[in-house]
């Protein structure tokens, strides 16, 4: 939502997929029109080579690997403590509490099913992963983005983009930063093309009105798998075929992987967007601290059926209308499908990928386990001469926009009536662990559960609990 647009233009809606018109010319609009005129003039004046028809067909015909839709919706946060009048929102549907913007995975859906997802955003956005670009196969990764519009706020014509935060040497046209690349208006779509050459953990978000759109929930985690994957490498007496980086020696190898995305909710800002108000961002405060879009103990609830982005099949990942299927017994978490529960067997090496797109620093702490930091901001912990600079710690201080890759080895299982041993993983900041709720945790926290040998089956995809 553009404050410039609201104050300088009286917006008159046009047909779906067309830009709005204004009653007079704002500075932003004038600059946009001038830029468009310059592009048209330059296009006719330039007499350089053009794409041949067969090249155009090849570029246009390449299918997308992932299809995302931007829209609005609602999610569920604990009703207590109430923050009158902002939380829970009186406009929220039954069982839900908080208005959001977000992305949905609409891969494999019919046009009708895709359009049905308006006002059914999820938080956090779909987790997805990409193989490192291989010069031999030259396989691009393509993400198609469509903008379904905002059902609750039809007065707004916010465009959306997909900005891959931290992507090195990105082609500006596909960067998703709206002043230098394409924005996707309501009713339109655009395909982003990537050749990711640097393994590691990243995040993505909408870059239009980014303070608002990021905070409202248009954020998610993405990671790049190294070319080394699939090769057998032995490290400390263990042989691995999955790795966080192209380490050459197997030191970043793992048996299981879990992604943990950190975000925040300022209840007043979410309420303001739902009630046609403008929040005062300088008053920002994080009322709720989330992990994978939920708060503890909801972080332990299993994944919803549709969390594997490359397994989109009607009836399993989504229902006949295209809507998400809620985790068993938890209809309130329908639009928060990602679990944060870490399950493993004793002796296994587990990779944790952290990314923070809140506005506050998070201090993620483990109890009784030591994490080895092997990467930060999609960069392996190696010096320029190859020296190993990885280190062990119990606490990660993760600033906004930062990511960490860590591994730990699950300790020996000790007989327990529950069938597993529990180790807490939580934000050391008390206010961000309890979300001001009395009686224990309620924020950025989850559990690491260590089972006896064979207690958890092999993972089928990242964040698969294996239970």
> Which residues have a Cβ under 8 Å from the Cβ of 320 and sit 6 or more positions away?
314
Q: Is the pLDDT of residue 56 over 80?
A: no
Average pLDDT score over residue span 321-335 = 96
- Is residue 403 situated within a structural domain? yes
- Is residue 32 situated within a structural domain? no
Kindly report the number of other CB atoms within 10 A of residue 159's CB atom: 21
**Which of the four pLDDT bands, split at 50, 70 and 90, describes residue 122?**
very high
What is the model's pLDDT at position 317? 87
- Is residue 61 situated within a structural domain? no
- Is residue 11 situated within a structural domain? no
pLDDT digits (tens, 9 = 90+) for 298-311: 999 999 998 999 98
Mean pLDDT lowest among 18-32, 124-138, 255-269, 395-409: 18-32
Average pLDDT score over residue span 31-52 = 41
What is the model's pLDDT at position 29? 45
CATH assignment at residue 304: 2.60.40.420
Give which of 449, 350, 369 is closest to 407, Cα–Cα. 350
- Is residue 294 situated within a structural domain? yes
Kindly report the number of other CB atoms within 10 A of residue 152's CB atom: 17
**Which of the four pLDDT bands, split at 50, 70 and 90, describes residue 148?**
very high
Q: How many domains are there within the chain?
A: 1
- Is residue 153 situated within a structural domain? yes
Domain extent for 109: 66-451
Q: Is the pLDDT of residue 60 over 90?
A: no
Q: Is the pLDDT of residue 294 over 70?
A: yes
What is the model's pLDDT at position 50? 44
pLDDT digits (tens, 9 = 90+) for 351-371: 999 999 999 999 999 999 999
C-alpha 50/C-alpha 238 separation (Å) is 54
**Most confidently predicted of 7-11, 58-62, 176-180, 188-192:** 188-192
What is the model's pLDDT at position 193? 96
- Is residue 60 situated within a structural domain? no
- Is residue 459 situated within a structural domain? no
C-alpha 223/C-alpha 165 separation (Å) is 11
């Amino acid at each position: 939502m553009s404050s410039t647009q609201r104050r300088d233009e009286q917006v008159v809606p046009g047909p779906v997929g067309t830009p709005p018109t204004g009653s007079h010319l704002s500075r932003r609009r004038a600059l946009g029109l001038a830029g468009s005129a310059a592009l048209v003039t330059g296009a006719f004046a330039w007499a350089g080579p053009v794409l041949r028809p067969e090249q155009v067909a090849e570029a246009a015909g390449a299918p997308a690997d992932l299809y995302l839709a931007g829209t609005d919706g609602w999610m569920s946060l604990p009703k207590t403590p109430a923050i009158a009048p902002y939380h829970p929102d009186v406009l929220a549907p039954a069982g839900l509490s908080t208005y959001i913007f977000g992305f949905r995975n609409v891969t494999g859906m019919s046009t009708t099913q895709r359009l049905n997802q308006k006002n059914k955003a999820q938080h956090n956005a779909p987790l997805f992963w990409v193989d490192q670009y291989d010069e031999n196969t030259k396989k691009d990764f393509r993400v198609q983005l469509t903008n379904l519009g905002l059902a609750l706020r039809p007065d707004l014509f916010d465009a959306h983009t997909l900005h891959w935060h931290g992507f090195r040497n990105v082609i500006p046209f596909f960067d998703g930063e709206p002043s230098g690349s394409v924005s996707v208006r309501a009713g339109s779509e655009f395909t982003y093309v990537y050749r990711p050459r640097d393994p590691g953990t990243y995040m993505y978000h909408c870059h239009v009105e980014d303070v608002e759109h990021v905070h409202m929930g248009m954020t998610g985690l993405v990671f790049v798998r190294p070319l080394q994957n699939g090769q057998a490498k032995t490290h400390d007496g263990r042989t691995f075929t999955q790795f966080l980086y192209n380490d050459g020696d197997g030191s970043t190898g793992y048996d299981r992987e879990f992604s943990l995305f950190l975000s925040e909710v300022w209840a007043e800002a979410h309420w303001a967007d739902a009630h046609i108000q403008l929040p005062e961002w300088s008053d920002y405060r994080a009322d709720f601290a989330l992990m994978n879009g939920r708060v503890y103990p909801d972080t332990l609830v299993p994944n919803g059926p549709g969390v594997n982005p490359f397994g989109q099949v009607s009836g399993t990942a989504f229902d006949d209308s295209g809507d998400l299927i809620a985790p068993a017994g938890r209809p309130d978490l329908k639009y928060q499908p990602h679990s944060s529960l870490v399950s493993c067997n004793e002796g296994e090496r587990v990779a944790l990928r952290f990314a923070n797109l809140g506005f506050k620093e998070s201090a993620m702490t483990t109890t009784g386990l030591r994490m080895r930091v092997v990467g930060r901001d999609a960069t392996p912990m190696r010096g320029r001469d190859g020296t190993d600079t990885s280190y062990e710690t119990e606490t990660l201080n993760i600033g906004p926009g930062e990511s960490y890759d860590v591994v730990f080895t699950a300790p020996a299982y000790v007989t327990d009536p529950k069938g597993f041993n529990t180790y807490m993983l939580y934000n050391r900041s008390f206010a961000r662990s309890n979300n001001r709720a009395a009686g224990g945790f309620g924020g950025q926290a989850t559990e690491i559960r260590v089972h006896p040998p064979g207690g958890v089956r092999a993972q089928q995809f990242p964040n698969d609990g294996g239970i």
